[in-house]
Structures are given as structure tokens and as C-alpha cells.
Amino acid sequence: MRTTTLPRARRLFQRTRCLALFAFAIASLSACDKRDGGKDTRDGRTNVQSVAHSALRPLNAAAMRDTMERLGKDMLVPGAVVILRTPEGEFKHTYGVTSYRGATPTSFDQHVRVGSNTKTWTGTVILQMVQEGKLRLDDPVAQYRPDVPNGANITIEKLLTMRSGLYNYSQSLELNRALDEHPQRTWTPEQLLAVAFRHSPLFAPGSKFSYSNTNTILLGLIAEQIDGKPLGDIMRDRLFRPLGLENTLFPTATSTTLPEPFTRGYMYGTNVLTLHTPALPDSLQTAARAGTLAPVDWTNASPSWTWAAGEGISTAEDLATWVRVLVVGKLLNADMQARRLASVQQTNPSDASSAWYGWGIAKFGNLYGHTGEMPGYNSFMGHDPVNNVTLVVWSNLAPAVDGRDPATTIARSIVGMLYAPENDRDSE
């Protein structure tokens, strides 16, 4: 049977809109647990006593495995990996293969592009510099970048919490068209900011939340200005080496390869096609499920358009180590770590299931962490410091043809199987 492919303008797909829709993924995960998530509304600090260890159900590895495989097949995912660690035991499972219609199975040591999970690295570096007295959270960004619109009223903290009002360059039609037509192009941070600054700010700084990669690009440039070396070297010296993360790296902008071993990454559609609607048209969904529409291999496309906001590479094992440190602490002092966890707040106070976001860190139910999506790769990482739960999921397809984010969809199901509903806990 001949495989149908899309015309060039539609084949070269890179789903930049999904980074901007991070909040949607977090909100859907939060919906698994609609209580206050341990938030003490009296003073805004995290109240870890509000969630008891009994919130956990017994670990049902067989049911989790079946659910993961069912979802993987339904979303046409070539391969996925899950690591779940709890006080009662561990669930680790690999699904599928590393390439479309390939034979090499997925494994826990394979490198993947971790997308916006990179933001937690950039945010941690900035907070280290704050505690070292090299900058302050209330410093205006204009102090470092006088060209930023509203820069005198945008603080470092507003960049960290996505409340600057700056336009998200990855939502622009200009960038999406360029990525579709020239996926190997190397983008500089200055070029990304130029795209962003051609658009007016969305709102007054601090007045609301809007997820924007522009914020993190600025933070990366500020970090380089302060430490006087490339961001990749800063992350290596401040984060990866101290934690022994030997399989984690922030590559140079010109690099389009992943270290061995790695899994390939796939997508259906184009940026422009899915810029406003994540799901493919019904006819293309039908073709994909029939096997007459093949996904596009995005493994070696340039990730430079994400830079400090999403260029990182890691493995499931390293992500599990990283997200626990991110939440429990080791790279920040105790005061800064506590303030970081307490910084999360609802992105939409009128919606009880909306995302929680803070200083380069998100919160969904009991778990702090982040999600990430790059061309062909979707990942989730979270840690619950009260119940000592760590969950990492990645997939080598992003998004699914029906618009779902595979890794976050799998993570949501596992979270729902692990935590008892509120009424179940009340009866204990």
C-alpha cells in the first residue's frame, strides 16, 4: 500500500502552539484532583499538612500498564516510557518502539527533547543568582534589556511567573510559517525577541497570566549577562554536574542531534494547520489511523527556536532525579526553595481547575513540576513532596492526531489511578 504524504508546506510540522497551550495541559491534569492542592489561602504558603499519606491508593502496576498501552495505541504513539516512584513501590514500563514502524524497543536511558521542562532549569539558575545577590526578583527587566516593551514595569519575578504581558513569539504566524518551510534554520535569541516585539504587549504587567516563551528567552539572556558565559555552560556547571545528571544537556543552538541512545520523534500535520486548532481535520485523522498517512520525522529539526524555553535534552531517569530535586530542594537554600513552592498561584482564579504557576515551576494536584513539548516529543515530570511520589512520562509522538498531548494524557490517567478521590478518603 502506498503511504500518503502531505504537501511540503503541510508536511514540515512543528507544533509550537502546544508550548503556548501548556496551561491547558496542566489544567487537565489538575482536574484529576480539584481540592485546593494543599494551598493555605490565609498566607499563600504551601500547607503540606493538608494532604495525608492516605491519599494514595495501592499501586496497581498491571492496571497502569494496561492503561498506558491502551492509550498509546489509541493515540498512535510509536513509543512511550513511564517511571512512577512511590513509598509503596515503583512502576516502570516501556511501551512500543523508538521509530515509526520500527523494531527497537523504547528504554529508560534513551535521550529525548524535553521541551518546556527546560524552563525549570532556566528558572533555577535565575533563583540561584537571586540568592547570591547578583540580581533581585523586583529588578525591572529594563535594567538588563532596555528594548523590552513595558520593561520598566516588568520585573524578573513577572518573567518567572508568566505575568509580563509580553507577546509569545511562538504563537506568531510569522514564526510558524518559517518553521514549516525551513525546519533546519538556526534561530538566535535576538531573532526570537524581534518576532515577539513586533507585536504589542497583551496586557499591563502583573494584571494577569499568559504563558509566553518570550519571558524565558529574556531570563536566559539575563543569566548569560550575569555569569558571562553561554547558557549551556551555566546549566552544566550550576545544575547538571552538581546533581550527576550525566545524560542531561542544553545543546548549542546549531546542534540538531541527540546523544545515543535516543528515540526518534514524530508529528502529523503542520504548524500553520494546527496553530489555532490542535486536532487534525477528520479526513487526516482517518488517514493516519488507516496507516495511509505517515507522521513526519522531526528528530533532527533545529530546536533553536525554543532556546532557554525548551531546548533541553534528557532521559526519563535523569528527569526523575531532577524533578525531585526541583521540588524537595538541593540547589537552592531552604528559604528560597520554600518561597519557590509558595509562589505558585492559579492562572485563572475564576476557574477552580485552572493551572497553577510560579517561579518557573507548575503545580497540578499534589505534584509540582512541568510539562514539555518539542517537535515529536511530549514529556511530563512531577513530584509530590507530601506523599513522596515522582512521576515521569515521555512519548515520541506529539501531538496525537486528535489533538491530545500523549505524555500528559498518560500521566493524567496514572495520577487518577494513584490518588483516591476526595469522597473515598473521607470514608477512610
Kindly state whether residue 3 falls inside one of the protein's structural domains: no
pTM: 0.89
Could you tell me what percent of the chain has a pLDDT over 90?
Answer: 79
The dihedral of CA 32, 33, 34, 38: what is its sign? Answer: negative
Contact in structure between 376 and 265 (CB atoms under 8 Å): yes
Average pLDDT over residues 122-133: 98
> For residue 356, what is the domain's CATH number?
3.40.710.10
pLDDT higher than 70, residue 228: yes
Residue 117: per-residue pLDDT:
98
pLDDT value, residue 425? 45
pLDDT (average), residues 66-95: 98
Q: How confident is the model at residue 71 (pLDDT cuts 50, 70, 90)?
A: very high
Residues 167-193: tens digit of each pLDDT: 999 999 999 999 889 999 999 999 999
- The confidence band for 12, taking pLDDT boundaries of 50, 70 and 90, is very low
Q: By residue range, what is the domain housing residue 220?
A: 8-426
Res. 416 pLDDT band, cuts 50 70 90 = very high
In this structure, the strands spanning 89-96 and 112-113 are unpaired
Domain-embedded: residue 163: yes
Q: Provide the pLDDT confidence category of residue 55 given band limits of 50, 70 and 90.
A: confident
> How confident is the prediction for the chain on average, in pLDDT?
87
Helix (H, G, I), strand (E, B) or coil at 86: strand
**pLDDT value of residue 1:** 30
Q: Is the pLDDT of residue 138 over 60?
A: yes
**Distance of alpha carbon 153 from alpha carbon 165, whole angstroms:** 10
Residue from 355, 379, 330 nearest 119 by CA: 379
Whole-angstrom distance, CA of residue 220 vs CA of residue 242: 20
Q: Is residue 60 part of a domain?
A: yes
Q: Is residue 390 part of a domain?
A: yes
Higher pLDDT, 425 or 160: 160
| Average confidence (pLDDT) over 48-58 | 57
In a domain? residue 212: yes
Query: Which residues, 6 or more positions from 57, have their beta carbon under 8 angstroms from its beta carbon?
Result: 417, 418, 419, 420
Look at the chain and count its residues: 428
Residue carrying C-alpha cell 552538581: 242
Cβ contacts of 349 within 8 Å, gap of 6 or more: none
- What's the pLDDT tens digit per position in 205-214? 999 999 999 9
Q: Over 90: is that where the pLDDT of 142 sits?
A: yes
Q: Which of 46-60, 128-142, 341-355 bottoms out in mean pLDDT, i.e. has the lowest?
A: 46-60
- 187, part of any domain: yes
Is pLDDT above 90 for 2?
no
Residue 1 lies in a domain: no
Lowest average pLDDT, out of 208-217, 369-378, 416-425, goes to 416-425
The total number of structural domains in the chain stands at: 1
Residue 333 clears pLDDT 90, i.e. is over it? yes
Task: Tell me whether residue 350 is in a domain.
Answer: yes
